[in-house]
Amino acid sequence: MQGFGGTVSNAFFQVSIVVKWIIDFTNGGVIMAASIKQQEQAHLDNVIGKIKVAQTKSQERIDQAEQDEGAIRDNFQNDLRLKTDSYEGMMETALSVRQQQQLLSERQNSWQHATDQLATLQKLEKSPYFARIDFHETGEPKTETIYIGLASFSDRPDHFLVYDWRAPISSIYYDGGLGEVTYLTPDGDQTVNVKLKRQFQIEDGQIKTVFDTDEAVGDQMLLDALSEQSDTKMRSIVTTIQKEQNQIIRDTKSDLLFVQGAAGSGKTAAVLQRVAYLLYRYRGRLNAGQVILFSPNQLFNDYIDQVLPELGEQNMVQMTYYQYAGRRLPKIQIETLSQRFSEDYSQAQQAIDRLKSSLTFFNAVTAYTNHLEKEDMIFRNINFRGKPFFSKEKIHDIYYSFNDNYNLKNRIDGTKEQLIKQLNRRVSSETRTKWVEEAVQSLSKEEMDRLFGDEPREFDSEEKEFQFLARKIVIRAFQPIRQAVVRNRFLSINSQFIHMLKAMPLIVDLQQAGISPADWQASVDQAVADMKAGTMTLSNVTPYLYLYDQIAGKHGERDMRYVFIDEIQDYTPFQLAFLKFSFPRARFTLLGDLNQAIFTKENSKTLLSELSTMFDPEKTRVVQLTQSYRSTQQITDFTRHILINGEAVTAFARNGDLPQISVPKTVSAAVDRLIDQVEVNNAAKETTAIIGKTLSQCRDLYEILQKRGVAVTLIQSENQRLAAGVIIVPSYLAKGLEFDAVVVWDASAANYHDEGERQLLYTICSRAMHQLTVIATDELSPLFDTVPTDEYERVD
């Protein structure tokens, strides 16, 4: 900490001193500190001045492009004469249209470019940067100074006044303190000696605070960032990215990057910055449409959709797994999250569900599809005028007529080709049938005109004319057949799926999976009944899609380059294997907290080991985030004790009130307590989420509060928007979200008693940033017994 006196070794202590010196104008160190602030303000003013000049230039370019576009359009209208009487004339017209289009598209590109640039400059003008680094590169004569901000800004070629936070050099800001720091450049590792790290808080062009630090990102800055109130939208964390998060953001080597992080450890935040980083790093080669994020629910999508635009990037494709599967099965009603959550499965159903979720089952489906290369493929007739046109037997014969080495894709392609050929061959013979003859005879004039189209109507004989029209009619009538072939309508995916389920006892060891033949048979019968009713359970959906893709020869979306999956603990190994199959050329970033597995529960532990078998270990990287940034120390301590043998969680030193537990005797007393707490939170301007276990419990509470005149919004479905003010939300929709204050509603023994609900309770409580209140009636859930009594306050 040169220039600030002293060799105090504790980094946090040093930061505090520096902050104090800069702010405290009566202190002896003032003159230097204050002059630093003045110098920095002068530099800032200079940069902002240049940003304004650049803005004017961008605006001029925009105006120019708009003017040019107008002029091109005018010219085009005045000059264009359509010459269609000769071939040359037509060519000339086409060329001139094309030329104009090219000119227009050039202007549009230049307009777009200037508009994007202006938007960036407008952002930069208010707060051009947040950090300064002075460093010395070995072999270079001088120490260099760089400033880091949301985007790069240069006033002339290669003269950068601000470096983008994603530029290789910016990494040294996040990765280390003072002294030797190594960062990755496109040419390999580069080491520099960092002399100074200075952080700024700038608002509207004015430096509010400036402090030097010898840490990666000073605690003070982070503390300030974290003390802000929650919002219905997540914000970017570029100014305070932590070292471990930076590792995640900048990883470009791993095929599988697995991030295990405690609740609130910034997994989601880091991953959104990672998307922004990748879009910057691979600019021109990667676009936002080649990145997909699977998120836990639609509410969460809504919550995070501002982060990338704030960073000047477009949002990636965002979807829940449910939407992804549902989109492909529009005619089937898939079991919803809410249904799945409220379902109480029997032991036998649980065992079956477990098997269907496993990699073993994925491999079994693969084995079954391999078997289909030899036999057992089920086909449907393609009918025409009520009779089989291509019978299923015929299709079967074609399908199995190919060489042994044909795989399913070759077979289906070959079969389609053959069927289309045969269809074409049948046109002539069909023209001689009675229905065609009748159809030709009963053609109206308009219909005939339509059939002739632009073609000449001179025929040598009536017979020829008849032939012509008959062919046209037959081709038109065969169109649905052609479509049925192209669209694989001759496959019978439903029957095939049931056939597969029936065949499973021959492929997997049911006994080992703890499933009796009778229970398995019952589950197959249920699947048949569901299908007849047009519904499907979540556990059947993915095997169904995988089977379909295999037999239809689909091998996934090859264009997708990066797949992000948040809340990975709620996915089954089967689903993950399917996603890997569906995005064969993508790199995967998986984020999860094995402590928060609320759907898959105990399965989550095996998830990691199953995952490791799916990816090359050489290209797999596991990063652990243990520090929780969301909650105060008190809340983090409380929540982590709900877990038994939970993954490591450490609190970030930020103080707040102890969580409160209230256990009134009656429901009405509990409601009184709830209303009191909501009023306290409202008065403190803290947004409150009341989290109930199930939707129906939330509905009941909502009605009670309505009657009592309390203003609340009930979030019932994932398609709703998060509202400001007090909300009531069922637990499974609160995933991934955070609120200033959380009230856990009805945490009584009657409601939460099963060991399997521990993770759910942890997830609910860990949504709180500053205030946590637990309300139960009659008797508190025994799941809180593991929390030491000095970590909460009893308010009865």
Ligand X SMILES: Nc1ncnc2c1ncn2[C@@H]1O[C@H](COP(=O)(O)OP(=O)(O)OP(=O)(O)O)[C@@H](O)[C@H]1O
**Is 781 a residue that touches ligand X (CB under 6 A)?**
no
The correct pick among 1, 269, 577, 783 for binding ligand X (CB under 6 A) is 269
Q: Any known ligand binding at 534?
A: no
Q: Which residues contact 380 (CB under 8 A, 6 or more apart)?
A: 392, 489, 490, 491, 492
* Shortest Cβ 114–ligand X spacing (Å): 33
- Encoded one letter per residue, x for contact with ligand X by CB under 6 A and - for no contact, window 435-474 reads ----------------------------------------
The least distance separating ligand X from the CB of residue 539, rounded to whole angstroms, comes to 24
Which residue in this structure is represented by tokens 């169109």? 479
Q: How far is the CB of 299 from ligand X (least distance, A)?
A: 12
Count of CB atoms situated within 10 Å of the CB of 142 = 7
Is 553 marked as a binding-site residue?
A: no
Instruction: In whole angstroms, give the CA distance from residue 619 to residue 635.
Output: 37
685 annotated as ligand-binding? no
User: CB neighbours of 650 closer than 8 A, spacing ≥ 6?
Assistant: 262, 626, 627, 628, 636
Question: Which region among 9-17, 100-108, 240-248, 641-649 touches ligand X (by CB under 6 A)?
Answer: 240-248
From residue 123 to residue 162, what is the string marking binding to ligand X with x (rule CB under 6 A)? ----------------------------------------
Is 709 part of any known ligand binding site? no
Q: Does the annotation place 723 within a ligand binding site?
A: no
Q: Judged by CB, which is closer to ligand X: 231, or 447? A: 231
**Which residue from 149, 264, 646, 730 is in contact with ligand X, where contact means CB under 6 A?**
264
Say whether residue 261 binds ligand X (CB under 6 A): yes
Comparing CB distances to ligand X, the nearer of 59 and 232 is 232
Minimum distance from CB of 701 to ligand X (Å)?
A: 23
Q: How far is the CB of 263 from ligand X (least distance, A)?
A: 3
Element (DSSP H or E) covering residue 193 = strand 188-203
Closest distance between ligand X and the C-beta of residue 230, in Å?
7
- Based on the shown chain and the rule CB under 6 A, indicate whether residue 295 belongs to the binding site for ligand X: no
Contact status, residue 263 vs residue 593, Cβ threshold 8 Å: yes
Q: Does 308 bind ligand X (CB under 6 A)?
A: no
Whichever of 273 and 550 has its CB closer to ligand X, that residue is 273
CA atoms within 13 A on the CB side of 540: 26
> In angstroms, rounded to a whole number, what is the distance separating the alpha carbons of residues 670 and 362?
48
Binding piece for ligand X, criterion CB under 6 A, among 96-104, 130-138, 143-151, 235-243: 235-243
Pattern of binders to ligand X over 726-765, x per CB under 6 A? ----------x-x---------------------------
Q: Phi and psi (nearest 5°) for 734?
A: -85, -5
Least Å from the CB of residue 782 to ligand X: 24
Three-state SS for 255?
coil
Q: Confirm if 752 and 744 have CB atoms less than 8 A apart.
A: no
Instruction: Give CA separation, 209 vs 20, 200, 212, 454, in Å.
Output: 10, 6, 10, 77
**DSSP for residue 310:** H
Q: What's the CA gap between 516 and 504, in Å, rounded?
A: 12
With vertex at residue 287, the alpha carbon angle to CA 282 and CA 290, rounded to the nearest 5 degrees, is 110
How many residues of this chain bind ligand X (CB under 6 A)?
Answer: 22
177 is in an annotated binding site: no
Does residue number 240 form part of the binding site for ligand X (CB under 6 A)? Answer: yes
Burial of 49 (C-beta count, 10 Å sphere; 0-12/13-18/19+): exposed
Minimum Å distance from CB 353 to ligand X? 24
Asked if residue 777 binds ligand X (CB under 6 A), the reply is no
CA 746 – CA 764 distance, rounded (Å): 12
Residue 237 binds to ligand X (criterion: CB under 6 A): yes
Q: To which H or E segment does residue 188 belong?
A: strand 188-203
Answer yes or no whether residue 646 interacts with ligand X by CB under 6 A.
no
Q: By CB under 6 A, tell whether 268 contacts ligand X.
A: yes
Q: Which of 152, 242, 550, 677 binds ligand X (CB under 6 A)?
A: 242
Selection from 663, 671, 635 nearest residue 772 by Cα: 635
> How far is Cα 741 from Cα 784, in angstroms, rounded to an integer?
19
Using CB under 6 A as the binding rule, the residues of this chain from 579 to 618 that contact ligand X are: 593
Contact 589, 627 (CB under 8 A): no
Q: Is residue 775 within the footprint of ligand X (CB under 6 A)?
A: no
Bridge partner list, 622: 258
Query: Does residue number 171 form part of the binding site for ligand X (CB under 6 A)?
Result: no
Cα–Cα distances (Å) from 687 to 228, 299, 714, 724, 772, in that order, read: 12, 17, 14, 7, 12
User: Residues 65, 207, 263, 547: which binds ligand X (CB under 6 A)?
Assistant: 263
DSSP 330: T
Is 592 annotated as ligand-binding? no
Min dist. Cβ of residue 245 to ligand X (A)? 6
Q: Which is nearer to ligand X, 242 or 677 (CB)?
A: 242
Choice from 30, 226, 348, 498 touching ligand X (CB under 6 A): 226
Cβ proximity to ligand X: between 32 and 226 the closer is 226
By beta-carbon proximity to ligand X, the closer residue of 237 and 524 is 237
Task: Indicate the pairing of strand 159-164 with strand 206-212.
Answer: unpaired
Among 91, 71, 68, 87, residue whose Cα is nearest residue 79: 71
Structure tokens at 660: 């409160």
Q: Does the annotation place 268 within a ligand binding site?
A: yes
CB of 320 to ligand X, least distance (A): 15
Does 632 bind ligand X (CB under 6 A)? Our answer is no
Give residues with Cβ within 8 angstroms of 265, minimum separation 6: 593, 625, 626, 627, 628, 629, 649
The yes or no reply on residue 225 touching ligand X (CB under 6 A) is yes
Among 166, 267, 587, 693, binds ligand X (CB under 6 A): 267
- 8-state DSSP, 166: T
Judged by CB under 6 A, the stretch of 218-226, 330-338, 414-422, 724-732 that binds ligand X is 218-226
C-alpha closest to that of 742 among 781, 770, 715 = 770
Residue 629 contacts ligand X per CB under 6 A: yes
Does residue 636 bind ligand X (CB under 6 A)? Answer: no
> Residue 320 or 349: which CB sits closer to ligand X?
320
For the bound state, the minimum distance from the C-beta of residue 275 to ligand X, rounded and expressed in Å, comes to 13
Cα angle at 393 between 389 and 396, to 5 degrees?
Answer: 110
Span interacting with ligand X, options 193-201, 261-269, 508-516, 675-683, rule CB under 6 A: 261-269
Nearest approach, Cβ of residue 729 and ligand X (Å): 14
Tell me if 762 sits within 8 A of 774, measured CB to CB: no
- Point out the residue whose Cβ comes nearest to ligand X: 266
Distance CA 245, CA 238 (A): 11
CA distance 173 to 243: 9
| Site residues (vs ligand X, CB under 6 A) | 222, 225-226, 237, 240-242, 245, 261, 263-269, 593, 629-630, 736, 738, 766
Binding site listing for ATP: 261-268
Binding site listing: 261-268
